[in-house]
Every structure is written in C-alpha cells, then in structure tokens.
Chain A
C-alpha cells in the first residue's frame, strides 16, 4: 500500500478534517506539522498554487484543498462511507459543504474585526447558523443522518473552534436557546470516538486565539476599533 502523508497545522480545523476522515476509514498516515511562517520546501512543491495546508500526499501524488481532499479520501477508501450512496443525496451533501466554504468570510470577519463591521458579521453569522440548523441539519442526529459524514466533518470547527473564538471575542453565537439542534449536534459530534480523540487541546487553542485576536485588533484601522 502506498504511503499517505498529511501536511497540516495543529490549530487548523481544515487539517483536522482530513485527519478525521482518514481515521474514520482506518487509513494509516504520517502527519507533518508545518510552520506557516516558515513553510517547508515540500509544502511549496506539493501545493504551488495556494501554498497552504492541508495537503494530502498519496504515494508521491499531492492533493490540495480540504474539500477536494475529503472527496479523494472518500473515493480512494470507500469503506465506512462518509457520503450518501444516492446521487441526489450526495449533491445535497456537497451543497452544504460548499455553503460552509462560502460563508467562512463571515466568521473570519466575526473574529478579526470590531465595531460596526463586527456587528454586521455577527448578524450574518447568526443567519447562517439558523439556515444551517433548520435547512441543513433539521431533525437529524448528524448532517449525514444516523452516522457522521463529510458534511459533519466540514462543520466540525463549529463544535470545538468556535467556542474559543467566542470567548476571546466576547460574543456568543451558538446559544443553546436559539440554536438548540446545532447545540445537540455539537455534543453528539464530539462524542464520536475518532473526533473526541483528535481535537486540539482547548487551553492551547484558546491561548492561540488570544494572540491572534490581539494582532487582528491591533491591525484594524483606528476608526474600526
């Protein structure tokens, strides 16, 4: 069997997504931690277009972009399927994964800005979460149904990273009273053994977010602070 390597960063939910998918399928891999301030030659060679993590390398063949990597993992290791068999259901799953991608600037703005800009981002983020809960999750246990799938994995950051961001920014988005189903989903998601055993240390993550937030606020134009 060909060697599998994952280039990632401990704090990134994007590299964690790849790790979760591989572990759920029982695929052995080597993990290489990258220093984003000093990117390795290998990373730049494997992802010349974006120069970002995560990158999956199978044999010597690199796959970049987490959405593309997840699809690749699903197709290469079909055991323990993470996408529905039905083509229509699969298209719906892909829709939600893409929805998450498209809305990430809103959550970036939530974390990186202040004042009016942040207020606007908070309002948008709450709308996004409401849509996700009502139209995406509905009454299902997981986005994937009874078992977790790629959509759950794609939104995994809501289950562990958002908490730290909210604490540092001082604004709560994921209120149990307004988003009860998502709240329950978070609990169910974190109880899945592979997820539970593969989450970055929350204290370490919080400290990391604090440093990041300070930097973002410092770099804001003065009338936005």
Chain B
C-alpha cells in the first residue's frame, strides 16, 4: 500500500523546516501544502483543532502535530534508513533534552526580537546569544550535535539558521562573531541537500518580518 504523506506548513517556520529536513533525510515522498496562518484553512483547523498551528504531518489521513513529535514519528515509522535519533537510550535522552531546550527558548526570543525595541531588544539579544552559546558549548568540537552523523538536535536547531540574518539585522549584532563554531556547524549542515532544500531564504525571512513590522507600526 502506498503511503499518503501530506505536510501542512508555512515557508518560514523553523519548526516546519524540521519536518521537511526529516522527510528529505528519509527520502519520503510527500505533498507540501503551504498554509496561510493569517487565514487558516479548514484542513488545518480539522487536523490540528487544539493548537491550530503548523507543522502538521498527515500520514494516511491521520494527523501528527508538534514538530519534535513529528520528527520522532517519522524516525520510528521509516526506520529502514537514515536514523535520526540515537539508538542508545541515554544518548536519545540527551538529544531529546536539547531539542526540548531549543523548543523552550528559541521560539520565544525569536518572536520578541521583531516585536521589541530599545532596552527590551537589547535584553532579547543578550538572551539569544546566551542560548546559542550554550548550544555551541554542547556542540563542542563535534561535526554535528549527534557526533559524526547529522541527527535530531541538528534537525531541531537548523531551521532557526534561516532566521539568524533577521535577528542580526534587527538586533545589530553578528552571531558569527559571538558563536563562530555554531555558524560553521550551520554551514556544514547547509551542504546537505536535505537541509539546503528545506530552509527558507534568510533574506526573504527578513523582508517578511520587515513587512510585518510595518503593518503593525513597529518600525
């Protein structure tokens, strides 16, 4: 029986990018359906009635919500190639811990970067640097967070790379200057087709945010 896989997503969602990367790593064929988050489709509301958010993976008609959960589901179901999570329970726990950290910290600061200014913006900037430095420390000298191979934590963080240019431009700072190893890691990930084809263009993301700010009178 052929699998029917549909992804409800938004082009600039760092969380949606996680799922795109995971699907690409596994070579899974799927239908991508771009969602307008300002005007949510009946399909999205039906498939994710509780949160009404993207991404949602629909596998043979059944929805799976929450990007970290979706990636784990993909790894468990399509377990014949490209393992995304470590097999060792302890290593798996560490990977889950860091993706949870990214979930808790990165979305919130990302949103506050474009919605704040002045002192508040300075504070958010410091937080971003703090989180990225901690993650850079966790990466250490490994090529990927998972070690020799690209895995769950790499997938968990890489989507945010497409937002770095926005953070840097709005906050007037250089992430590369603060976290050179992390940027080197991001560029290494971008050499993978599964990543380069899944991530949004950073300049497009910035233009989009500029547009939002103008619309909300937040310039």
The interface of chain A, by Cβ under 8 A from chain B, is 49, 58, 61, 63-65, 67-69, 71-72, 75-76, 87-88, 90-91, 94-95, 98-99, 131, 135
Known pairs A63-B90, A88-B59, A90-B76; A95 contacts B96 (CB<8 A): no
With A58-B90, A135-B49 given, can you name 13 additional A-B contacts, CB distance below 8 Å? Answer: A63-B90, A68-B100, A71-B92, A71-B93, A72-B92, A72-B93, A75-B89, A75-B92, A87-B77, A88-B62, A91-B70, A98-B69, A131-B50
Nearest-neighbour CB distance to chain B for A1, whole angstroms, equals: 14
- Tell me the complex Cα distance, A204–B65, Å: 39
Known pairs A75-B92, A88-B59; A65 contacts B66 (CB<8 A): no
When distances are taken between beta carbons in the complex, the residues of chain A under 8 Å from B69 are 91, 94-95, 98
When distances are taken between beta carbons in the complex, the residues of chain A under 8 Å from B64 are 88, 91, 95
Q: Are A99 and B50 in contact (CB under 8 A)?
A: yes
- Tell me the complex Cα distance, A90–B66, Å: 13
Q: Are A98 and B96 in contact (CB under 8 A)?
A: no
Nearest-neighbour CB distance to chain B for A181, whole angstroms, equals: 17
The interface of chain B, by Cβ under 8 A from chain A, is 49-50, 59, 62, 64-66, 69-70, 72-73, 76-77, 89-90, 92-94, 96-97, 100-101, 134
Known pairs A87-B77, A91-B69, A95-B69; A67 contacts B100 (CB<8 A): yes
Nearest-neighbour CB distance to chain A for B145, whole angstroms, equals: 14
Q: Are A68 and B90 in contact (CB under 8 A)?
A: no
- Tell me the complex Cα distance, A93–B119, Å: 41
Known pairs A87-B73, A99-B50; A61 contacts B59 (CB<8 A): no
Q: Are A135 and B92 in contact (CB under 8 A)?
A: no
| Main DSSP-derived SS at the A contact region | helix
- Tell me the complex Cα distance, A61–B91, Å: 10
- Tell me the complex Cα distance, A135–B76, Å: 24
5 A-B pairs closest in CB distance: A72-B93, A75-B89, A87-B76, A91-B73, A94-B69
When distances are taken between beta carbons in the complex, the residues of chain B under 8 Å from A68 are 93, 96-97, 100
Known pairs A65-B97, A67-B100, A94-B69; A76 contacts B59 (CB<8 A): no
Known pairs A88-B62, A94-B69, A131-B50; A49 contacts B134 (CB<8 A): yes
- Tell me the complex Cα distance, A71–B90, Å: 10
- Tell me the complex Cα distance, A65–B68, Å: 15
Q: Are B65 and A65 in contact (CB under 8 A)?
A: no
Nearest-neighbour CB distance to chain B for A20, whole angstroms, equals: 18
Known pairs A63-B97, A91-B64, A95-B66; A72 contacts B90 (CB<8 A): yes
- Residue of B62, B66, B76, B97 near A98 (CB, 8 A) is B66
Nearest-neighbour CB distance to chain B for A143, whole angstroms, equals: 15
Residue of B nearest to A63 (CB): B93
